Structure 1
Amino acid sequence: MAAGRTPRRVVMIRVVVADDDPLVGAHLRTILASAGDIEVVDTVADGAAAVEAAIRHRPDLVLMDLRMPGVNGLVATDQIAALNPAPVVVVLTTFTADRYVAAALRAGASGYVLKTTPPREFADLIRTAAAGHTILPPGAARVLLPAAPSVTLPNGLSERDREILTGLGQGLTNAQLAARLHLTEATIKGYVSRVLTRLGCTNRTEAALLAQRAGLVKYG
């Protein structure tokens, strides 16, 4: 290091892990701790404890298993999403074809991650979600909502609105949308709010699923 140069401060992502399997909780704590920029501030075993931990620690993100005894992860996700400020909630799941996963996304979760995800990819997904992305793998709408018909978008959507919706479906942040469309982030924020209102969506994740069902996002 050059003399007099101040080392760059690593901004830590503070995470609460909620899973009733102690082995899973310990495994996730080990994976995330090894990332260097992710700190697990608490590991809990049920939804009620997850809500309490979110209030007590004010984490950046909560990793939420859905099938837990007592208060399940779906109820906890809904309660955490109502906090102000609310941390990002990412669903932990073994099976993507799970009606609880779809319900959690509608309740405000920012996406889901499989428990079998390789460690390096797992940490990257946490960083992605904490940065404001929606974590929805290609084809998620088909897996989570297999019985849902394709969607026809309202005629009132402008070409710009469709560009914004496509970006949401791809999990882009406001900053990434601004760079793609050569607009300011403030302008993008206004467009996103307008698109959500016109589509009757309550959050970006719901809009992202809608974009996939409407065929705006091509499946890989």
Structure 2
Amino acid sequence: MINNFIFPDILLYMLDMVGIIACAIAGTLLAQHKGFDIAGCILVALVNAIGGGTLRDMALDRHPLFWMTDLNYVIVITATSLILQMFFHLYHKIDNALKFFDAIGLAAFSVIGFKVGLTQDIAPMIAIMMGVWTAIIGGLLRDIICNEIPLVLQREIYITASIAGSLTYLVLDYWGLDATINEFIMLFIIFAIRMLALKFDWHLPSIRLID
């Protein structure tokens, strides 16, 4: 049975902001690298940071949308994007920086989406899906806008990391582990799997019946 303990609001909010900032950075890095103007970079940052959570809340019929009632989301994303644009020249390894911040966003948003799903009294499998949606949709839209093949469609250990973290949470919750500790473990596992996959070039296999 899923533990009914709800992650303390302030910690949940801080975790959400970590994900927001990380995704705003990842979105701005890619947009700046593609030559977008100031407004374009901010738009990509916004889409990357709140796109997944928006789709999640629409699917769960949670209204009003979180960023419409708390302007801190838009303010933080915009400020992050503007600051990064001013110091973009410091990021020489665009690909490594993008994937690092993308991994932070993946982990943070997976936890947020998964926990939101559990609080809606839905099946654990759907809660896992909500975690995946929250984590990947923003990046998917970001890559499409920037005319890139989305990372999540490239045999990357990406969705798999999110699912692995959620399943770990469910197992540890069944064993009675404190929810707060469990969420931090989930966060660490997702981030670690993603970074290890990047370091050791792990990929999911493709299935081809006919060569």
Q: TM-score, normalised by structure 1?
A: 0.28
Larger relative helix fraction: 2
Larger relative strand fraction: 1
- Highest CA radius of gyration, 1 or 2? 1
Q: TM-score, normalised by structure 2?
A: 0.28
